[in-house]
């Protein structure tokens, strides 16, 4: 019931079926319907072997273990619904028939999950069972199961969820109540009419399953899609561009881009699909949206992505639209910087895959991570600390969800051309006893100084980032207080660190010189200040001495300033006030910034 969906594509030898597929899959006709050549199949086999060391495939035993877990959860849901129904005076013979079911979505449902990955699940119940029941009586039932650990409920989230570890597998389980008396095991959630008269939280919960199933329905060959998607997801993670919350792309967005490539090259095998993926999206005319199908014309009153109607939708920089009603942009968080970083990664990926296809390189080269810590001269380090592991989990989640707002503020600085956040949260080199700490690094690139009439070297650029950092810290603290999450010992600070001083924060193995990363798009300035690092600490902390690192002198939020000098690193203090951003990190960008820099040396057609 929960196993990966089998390949359901039609016989490729049937010309009529092939033509029918090409008419129905995607917004346009295919770019090429060429059959794979022996070399393409050989490269695909090499790809499978190259992926194995990265643990992207699970064994049969591990897959069966997941199915057993989901079967147990499904039985628990049915038992809970039956008991709750009887408690509400429903006859036992009727309560036995009302059903209820666990559905899966995300990477597990797509069949591309890796070893140890979590499972996204959805609990669907009939109309007489309420969300309050789910977070009380069902939560209590889960507590009683010996296989369940780390159980926690996030009832007030945008999409309410119960998180748990069930017999070694992390599970995020959503809740949706349908307006039906019974939920049979054969229920198909793709029916749009199921959404009628549901509340927004239930619609959002159902959206994950509906989108995942629709993606599988819209690709011409599921097995080729899966293998290509496994490779692209691994590539994105290794290159630090896999994170929806930080403004890159999340799993569903990468899946839709690969699915669109499959539609444009319906008969291609995985090796070819990967090359075409980079070819198409290295030259895509953003913000032209990526669509897998014509948007459904369903009028149930739910908000949908439509820039003709919604002004805010016109400012989305890299729209990738979900194929199920109500259609949404899955890349709302993308900023100018993250789009630029991903575009550069697409271009580099194309160059490498062309080498691989020609036999000049192996697939391992595609999965080599870039040298993030050698790419920029200057970095901002965000440190989030708390007193317990449980507090740290919550605190880091909140801080991470707000980093994109800091990126937006930095982008608005006229002298900063790029703010590159690394999605990985690093532990400290020297952990403090009794404290938990996580660090994020943001690489900064600066515009080239224009030469003045009086100086051949050009004028110095003076930038003060204190206001941006203090505004970010205040935003995080205020949000924590609003949701009653702020606890004693929680604090956050931001420091400027030069590349030469990174060894005090991260392991030397991460700083070793790797293959040279192209930086033609980035020009770095210099932040000077006598080797000092700027930091802003929360207002709730009293002991400032405990917040200082041995290698850095902490600056007061209102006192010192940082200097950017394109020519040399010198110690001077000057300032430039930067305006804070609003809630939507994309909302301040003009339509002019939509114009991408396109390569003209490739022959590729553009399709929505």
Extract the annotated binding site for Mg(2+).
Answer: 118, 120, 172
Catalytic residue selected from 108, 242, 376, 594? 242
Catalytic residue selected from 54, 72, 163, 172? 172
Q: Is 167 a catalytic residue?
A: no
Q: How far is Cα 539 from Cα 474, in angstroms, rounded to an integer?
A: 9
Catalytic residue selected from 40, 85, 103, 120? 120
Q: Is 118 a catalytic residue?
A: yes
Residues 6+ apart with CB under 8 A from 435: 385, 386, 387, 489
Beta pairing, strands 169-177 & 161-166: antiparallel
Three-class DSSP category at 173 = strand
- Residue 568 DSSP one-character state: -
Catalytic residue selected from 83, 118, 167, 501? 118
Q: How far is Cα 576 from Cα 528, in angstroms, rounded to an integer?
A: 14
Three-class DSSP category at 554 = strand
Spatial contact of 389 and 229, defined as CB atoms under 8 Å apart: no
Q: Is 296 a catalytic residue?
A: no
Q: Is 107 a catalytic residue?
A: yes
Measuring CA to CA, which residue among 24, 207, 276, 237 is closest to residue 112?
237
Three-class DSSP category at 101 = strand
Known binding-site residues for ATP equal: 105-107, 118-120, 172, 233, 242, 251-252
* Long-range Cβ contacts of 45-49 (<8 Å, 24+ apart): 46/271, 46/362, 46/363, 47/227, 47/231, 47/270, 47/271, 47/274, 47/363, 48/227
Catalytic residue selected from 107, 438, 471, 535? 107
CA atoms 291, 297, 300, 304: torsion sign: positive
Spatial contact of 120 and 175, defined as CB atoms under 8 Å apart: no
Q: Which helix or strand (DSSP H or E) is residue 277 part of? A: helix 270-282
Q: Is 487 a catalytic residue?
A: no
Q: Is 242 a catalytic residue?
A: yes
Q: How far is Cα 380 from Cα 499, in angstroms, rounded to an integer?
A: 10
CA atoms 271, 274, 280, 283: torsion sign: negative
Phi/psi at 588 (5° precision): -90, 0
Known binding-site residues equal: 105-107, 118-120, 172, 233, 242, 251-252
The distance of Cα 595 from the centroid of its chain, to the nearest Å, equals: 24
Runs of H (alpha helix) within 52-95: 60-87, 92-95
Q: How far is Cα 276 from Cα 262, in angstroms, rounded to an integer?
A: 9
Catalytic residue selected from 78, 101, 177, 233? 233
Q: How far is Cα 425 from Cα 397, in angstroms, rounded to an integer?
A: 11
Q: Cα dist. 404→447, 473, 485 in Å?
A: 21, 13, 20
- Residue 533 DSSP one-character state: B
Q: Please identify every residue annotated as catalytic.
A: 107, 118, 120, 172, 233, 242
């Amino acid at each position: 019931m929960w196993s990966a969906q089998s390949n359901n594509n039609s016989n490729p030898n049937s010309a009529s079926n092939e033509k029918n597929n090409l008419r129905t899959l995607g917004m346009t006709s295919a770019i090429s319907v060429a059959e794979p050549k022996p070399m393409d199949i050989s490269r695909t086999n090499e790809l499978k072997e190259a992926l194995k060391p990265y643990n992207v495939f699970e064994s049969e035993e591990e897959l069966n273990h997941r199915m057993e877990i989901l079967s147990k959860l499904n039985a628990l849901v049915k038992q809970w619904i039956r008991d709750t129904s009887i408690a509400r005076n429903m006859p036992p013979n009727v309560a036995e028939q009302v059903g209820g079911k666990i559905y899966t979505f995300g990477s597990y449902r797509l069949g591309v999950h890796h070893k140890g990955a979590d499972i996204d699940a959805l609990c669907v119940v009939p109309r007489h069972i309420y969300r309050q029941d789910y977070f009380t009586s069902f939560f209590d039932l889960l507590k009683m199961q010996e296989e369940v650990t780390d159980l926690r409920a996030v009832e007030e989230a945008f999409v309410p969820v119960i998180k748990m570890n069930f017999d070694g597998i992390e599970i995020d389980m959503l809740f949706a109540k349908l307006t039906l008396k019974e939920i049979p095991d054969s229920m198909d959630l793709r029916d749009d009419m199921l959404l009628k008269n549901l509340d927004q939280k239930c619609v959002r919960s159902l959206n994950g399953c509906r989108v995942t199933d629709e993606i599988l329905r819209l690709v011409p060959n599921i097995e080729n899609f899966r293998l290509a998607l496994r490779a692209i997801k691994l590539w994105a993670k290794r290159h630090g561009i896999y994170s929806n919350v930080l403004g890159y792309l999340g799993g569903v967005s990468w899946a839709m881009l690969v699915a669109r490539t499959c539609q444009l090259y319906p008969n291609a095998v995985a090796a070819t699909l990967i090359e075409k993926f980079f070819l198409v999206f290295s030259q895509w005319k953003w913000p032209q949206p990526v669509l897998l199908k014509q948007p459904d014309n369903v009028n149930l009153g739910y908000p949908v992505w439509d820039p003709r109607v919604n002004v805010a939708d016109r400012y989305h920089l890299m729209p990738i639209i979900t194929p199920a009603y109500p259609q949404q942009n899955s890349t709302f968080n993308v900023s100018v910087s993250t789009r630029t970083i991903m575009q550069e990664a697409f271009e580099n990926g194309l160059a490498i895959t062309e080498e691989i296809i020609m036999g000049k390189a192996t697939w391992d080269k595609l999965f080599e991570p870039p040298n993030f810590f050698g790419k920029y001269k200057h970095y901002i380090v965000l440190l989030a600390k708390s007193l317990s592991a449980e507090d740290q989990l919550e605190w880091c989640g909140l801080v991470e969800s707000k980093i994109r707002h800091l990126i937006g503020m930095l982008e608005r600085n006229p002298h900063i051309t790029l703010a590159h956040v690394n999605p990985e949260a690093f532990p400290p080199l020297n952990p403090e006893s009794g404290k938990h700490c996580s660090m994020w690094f943001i690489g900064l690139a600066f515009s080239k100084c224009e030469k003045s009439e009086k100086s051949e070297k050009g004028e110095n650029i003076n930038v003060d980032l204190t206001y941006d950092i203090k505004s970010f810290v205040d935003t995080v603290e205020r949000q924590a207080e609003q949701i009653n999450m702020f606890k004693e010992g929680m604090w956050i600070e931001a420091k400027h660190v030069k590349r030469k001083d990174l060894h005090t924060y991260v392991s030397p193995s991460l700083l070793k010189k790797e293959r040279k990363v192209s930086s033609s798009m980035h020009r770095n300035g210099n932040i000077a200040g006598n080797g000092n690092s700027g930091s802003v600490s929360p207002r709730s902390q009293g002991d400032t001495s405990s917040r200082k690192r041995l290698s850095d002198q902490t600056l007061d939020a209102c006192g010192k300033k940082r200097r950017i000098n394109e020519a040399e690193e010198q110690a001077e203090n000057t300032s430039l006030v930067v305006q804070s951003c609003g809630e939507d990190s994309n909302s301040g960008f003009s339509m002019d910034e939509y114009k991408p820099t396109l390569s003209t040396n490739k022959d590729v057609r553009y399709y929505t």
